[in-house]
């Protein structure tokens, strides 16, 4: 679009392509509600006011119009659907822009995976911006599938206009200790005037100062108001997260005031499609915030303009001339629900239902998941540890954090179902020679069978929990056979599975089918005694050796706070 073509429409001398009449417009700049019409030209807003002439007119009958919602940090792969299906799931909920970090597929397939995400999403009706993963691999305490070095980083940042900068810098010890490779990536990014996202749970004081000194200006890992306020006071944008497991809105929303709200944004990070179908996406965070007492205008700012301005998205996050015609129509701000979603001047969804077909830029090559390990046997899952007591990983419902728990049970007696102590094993998918480590875990409540997944942040090795070795072996070998997925086994048989054939992370099935499968798998897990609401998401984070406190990788049991391997037996 040439500017000279939109100016006559803005002046009212040329009819608009589309006119939205009788609108209550949420002005995120003034905090006021304006009544008027919105004139649209091609994919842009031409003007707001008493426009009357247009090729097409839609009378909104006094409904509210707000900017399209923005997810400030999300891993598409964690939805377990491909990028097009992900767009299909969130557009009806009013999300028109996302800042995606393809960290997961990068760990599996490297730059090939990142370019798949960028190329496949060209031209779809969702603004997808990306951050180049900064920590691939995330740690040296596990085996992963690839490395993204400084040369790769500069190549991707300069090649693709939709790349906004460097993804979440998980390796905060590497920042504080000025790791050479990480410093190179950061220096390259900042000198290109690109953003650098953070990931620094519980970092405080001088360590936080040092971390921010590396030009890292956002964080989505805050878990308390105190932590959020300290990070804002040091110049960070705090992204309040509400994922499928990591849920921080209730704990953080009290920190938001009219004085500091511009430094808060909303993100989902990792969210399954069944949760989106049931509760919503960023729209759910707007509703919940308002229910918690946040002024509706402030909640909408946190979901729109705050994120747009932080990431330098000059044409998004507001309803104003020259901004993209991405809008959400709702009957009420207090009971915020997207009745109509407009993307690029077209109605894409109504009453929660998609109104258009979405197809991606199909990639011809098959994105297989780098599964090299041979089938395993029960003997491969033995816990190699002596001792009279067992150091176990304690998991919690709706949390990605873990704790250490010491039980008066020798490792040789694991599993012990009376004490909710079951076995966990991590199998490297990338090694032609078996690389497996087994330990103990508690908190799942599983009474029979096993659950395995090829989704395991961040390196995405196969993790399996179980009440017996036979079912654990069955589940892992089925994942290897189908080249990725979630599998439940019991009594030596495969009970249910969700194939994830794209990188062992995402399904080729339509979003609706994936939702059905996830619901089925959760139901079976509950029947097997599992007390975790989303056992697959919780299990996927048990390998994450950059989040406190105890994790397991294919190399061993990790005490994250001490940054070292520890023994299962005590």
Please state the domain extents for the chain: 67-316, 378-566
399: nearest Cα among 231, 243, 171, 559 = 243
Residues near 247 by Cβ (< 8 Å), separated by ≥ 6?
A: 241, 398, 399
Q: What's the length of the chain?
A: 570
CB under 8 Å to 47, separation ≥6 — which residues? Answer: 9, 10, 12, 38, 39, 321
SS3 state of residue 318 = coil
Residue 364's pLDDT is: 63
Q: What's the token pair of residue 456?
A: 């395991």
| Percent of the chain scoring above 90 in pLDDT | 95
* Bridge partners (DSSP) listed for residue 391: 406
Three-state SS for 151?
Answer: helix
The predicted structure's pLDDT at residue 305? 98
Residue 450 has phi, psi (to 5 degrees) of -150, 155
C-alpha closest to that of 29 among 444, 416, 432, 308? 308
- What DSSP string runs through 103-123? HHHHHHHTHHHHHHHHHHTTT
Q: Helices in 91-179 by DSSP H: which ranges?
A: 103-109, 111-120, 150-159, 172-176
Geometric angle at alpha carbon 80, from 74 and 84, rounded to 5°: 75
The pLDDT tens digits for 336-353 are 999 999 999 999 999 999
Cα angle value 550/255/220 (rounded, 5°): 40
The candidate with the shortest Cα–Cα distance to 290, out of 260, 329, 255, 333, is: 333
Beta-sheet pairing, 550-553 with 556-559: antiparallel
Alpha helices in 12-143 (DSSP H): 83-90, 103-109, 111-120
Cα 23–Cα 69–Cα 27 angle in degrees, nearest 5: 40
Instruction: Please name the residue that has the structure tokens 């500069």.
Output: 154
- What region does 387 belong to: left with phi over 0, alpha with psi -120 to 50, or beta? left
Contacts of 420 (CB under 8 A, 6+ apart): 442, 443, 444, 445
The CATH number fitting domain 67-316, selected from 3.20.20.140, 3.40.50.300, 3.50.50.60, 3.40.1190.20: 3.20.20.140
CA–CA distance from 267 to each of 209, 257, 463 (Å)? 24, 18, 27
Collapsing DSSP to helix, strand or coil, 54 comes out as strand
Distance CA 491, CA 507 (A): 26
Diameter of the chain measured on Cα atoms: 85
Residue 1: predicted pLDDT: 84
Is the predicted pLDDT of residue 244 greater than 70, yes or no? Answer: yes
Tens digit of pLDDT for each residue in 125-165? 999 999 999 999 988 999 999 999 999 999 999 999 999 99
- Each residue of 177-219: pLDDT tens digit? 999 999 999 999 999 999 999 999 999 999 999 999 999 999 9
For residue 99, what is the DSSP state? E
Whose CA is closest to 264, among 296, 219, 226, 224?
Answer: 219
495 phi/psi in degrees, rounded to 5: -90, -45
Positive or negative torsion for Cα 14, 19, 24, 30: negative
Q: Round to whole Å and give the CA distance between 445 and 529.
A: 6
The sign of the dihedral angle between the CA atoms of 51, 57, 62, 65 is: negative
Consecutive H or E run containing 490: strand 485-490
* pLDDT, mean of residues 293-297: 98
Quick one: average pLDDT of 410-423?
97
Residues 536 and 200: their CA atoms lie apart, in Å, by: 24
35: left (phi over 0), alpha (psi -120 to 50) or beta: beta
Average pLDDT of every residue of the chain: 96
CA pair distance 457, 315, nearest whole angstrom = 33
CA angle 14, 20, 26 (to 5 degrees): 120
The tens digit of pLDDT for each residue in 103-114 reads 999 999 999 999
pLDDT per position as a tens digit, 367-384: 999 999 999 999 999 999
CB 506, CB 415: distance < 8 Å: no
Mean pLDDT (whole number) for 20-49: 98
**Non-local CB neighbours of 275 within 8 Å, separated by 6+ positions:** 244, 534
Q: Can you tell me the distance from the alpha carbon of 173 to that of 563, in angstroms, rounded to the nearest whole number?
A: 10
- pTM confidence score: 0.96
CB 153 within 8 A of CB 166: yes
Q: Indicate the pairing of strand 556-559 with strand 564-566.
A: antiparallel
- H helices, E strands: number in the chain: 17, 28
Q: Quick one: pLDDT at residue 112?
A: 95
**519 has pLDDT over 90:** yes
Query: What is the C-alpha to C-alpha distance for residues 83 and 118, in angstroms, rounded to an integer?
Result: 10
């Amino acid at each position: 679009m040439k500017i000279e073509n939109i100016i006559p429409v803005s002046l009212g001398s040329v009819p608009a392509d589309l006119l939205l009449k009788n609108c209550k417009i949420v002005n995120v700049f003034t905090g006021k509600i304006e009544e008027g019409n919105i004139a649209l030209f091609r994919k842009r807003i031409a003007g707001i006011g008493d426009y009357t002439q247009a090729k097409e007119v839609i009378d909104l009958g006094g409904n509210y119009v707000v900017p399209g919602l923005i997810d400030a940090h999300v891993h598409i792969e964690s939805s377990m659907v491909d990028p097009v299906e992900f767009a299909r799931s969130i557009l009806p909920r009013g999300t028109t822009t996302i800042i995606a970090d393809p960290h997961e597929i990068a760990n599996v397939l490297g730059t090939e995976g990142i370019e798949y995400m960028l190329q496949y999403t060209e031209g779809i009706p969702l603004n997808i911006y990306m951050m180049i993963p900064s920590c691939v691999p995330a740690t040296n305490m596990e085996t992963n599938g690839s490395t993204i070095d400084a040369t790769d980083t500069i190549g991707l940042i300069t090649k693709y206009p939709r790349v906004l900068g460097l993804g979440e810098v998980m390796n905060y010890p590497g920042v504080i200790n000025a790791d050479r490779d990480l410093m190179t990536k950061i220096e390259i990014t900042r000198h290109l005037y690109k953003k650098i996202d953070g990931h620094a749970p519980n970092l405080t004081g001088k360590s936080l100062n040092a971390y921010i000194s590396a030009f890292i200006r956002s964080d989505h890992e805050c878990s308390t108001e105190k932590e959020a306020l300290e990070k804002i006071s040091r110049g960070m944008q705090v992204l309040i997260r509400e994922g499928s497991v990591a849920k921080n809105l209730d704990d953080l929303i009290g920190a938001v005031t009219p004085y500091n709200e511009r430094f808060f944004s909303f993100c989902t990070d990792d969210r399954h499609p069944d949760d989106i179908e049931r509760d919503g996406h960023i729209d759910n965070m707007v509703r919940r915030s308002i229910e918690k007492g946040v002024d509706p205008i402030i909640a909408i700012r946190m979901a729109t303009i705050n994120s747009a301005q932080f990431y330098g998205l000059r044409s998004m996050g507001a309803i104003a001339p020259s901004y993209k015609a991405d809008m959400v129509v709702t009957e009420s701000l207090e009971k915020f629900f997207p009745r109509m979603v407009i993307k690029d001047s077209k109605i894409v969804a109504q009453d929660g239902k998609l109104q258009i077909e979405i197809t991606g830029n199909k990639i011809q090559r098959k994105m297989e998941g780098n599964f090299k390990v041979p089938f395993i046997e029960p003997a491969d899952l033995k816990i190699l540890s002596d001792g009279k007591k067992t150091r176990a990983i304690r998991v919690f419902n709706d949390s990605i954090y873990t704790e250490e728990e010491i039980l008066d049970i020798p490792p040789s007696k694991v599993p012990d179902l009376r004490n909710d102590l079951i076995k966990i094993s991590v199998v490297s998918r990338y090694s032609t020679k078996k690389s497996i480590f087994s330990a103990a875990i508690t908190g799942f409540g599983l009474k029979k069978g096993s659950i395995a997944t090829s989704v395991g942040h961040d390196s995405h090795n196969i993790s399996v929990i179980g009440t017996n070795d036979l079912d654990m072996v069955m589940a892992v070998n089925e994942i290897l056979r189908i080249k990725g997925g979630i599998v439940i086994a019991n009594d030596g048989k495969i009970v249910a599975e969700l194939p994830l054939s794209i990188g062992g992370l995402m399904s080729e099935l339509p979003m609706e089918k994936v939702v059905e499968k996830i619901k089925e798998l959760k139901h079976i897990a509950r029947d097997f005694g599992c007390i975790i609401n989303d056992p697959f998401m919780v299990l996927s984070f048990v390998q994450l050796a950059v989040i406190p406190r105890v994790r397991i990788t294919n190399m061993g049991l990790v005490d994250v706070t001490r940054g070292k391997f520890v023994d299962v037996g005590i």
